[in-house]
Amino acid sequence: MLENYLPILVFLVIGALVGAVFLIAGFTFGPRRPDAQKLSPYECGFEAFEDSRMKFDVRYYLVAILFIIFDLEIAFLFPWAVALKEIGMFGFLAMALFLGILVIGFVYEWKKGALQWE
């Protein structure tokens, strides 16, 4: 069972290696002549004058929170989906109820304006 997952692990390592090989090739073959102008961040021709790691809009943060809720729901749905043929009507109704509750929450968010970007 678990040996099936070994290729995946190897693939992940190789995938990272491919990226690393490219970077190493670039560092090996490319020139390196840095100067202050070249290394300064791009600001459309101006000099950067403040740190770019600033606070950002809270709505982005809100999206992340909503995402966690919904993604968890999806994770709950996975086993149900696989087993739906066995559990039949009862499973369907149970999940319909679950989805119903989810939809109520979704509608609440919608009406609250959490999905409003304007």
Q: Which of residues 12-71 bind other proteins (CB under 8 A)?
A: 12, 14-16, 18-20, 22-23, 25-27, 29-34, 36, 38-57, 59-60, 63-64, 67, 70-71
Measure the CA–CA gap between 7 and 57, rounded to whole angstroms.
41
Q: How far is CA 36 from CA 7, 33, 80, in A?
A: 45, 10, 58
Q: Does residue 78 bind other proteins (CB under 8 A)?
A: yes
- Shortest separation between residue 3's beta carbon and other proteins, angstroms: 8
- Shortest separation between residue 94's beta carbon and other proteins, angstroms: 11
CA-CA-CA-CA torsion for 18, 20, 25, 26, nearest 10 degrees? Answer: 120
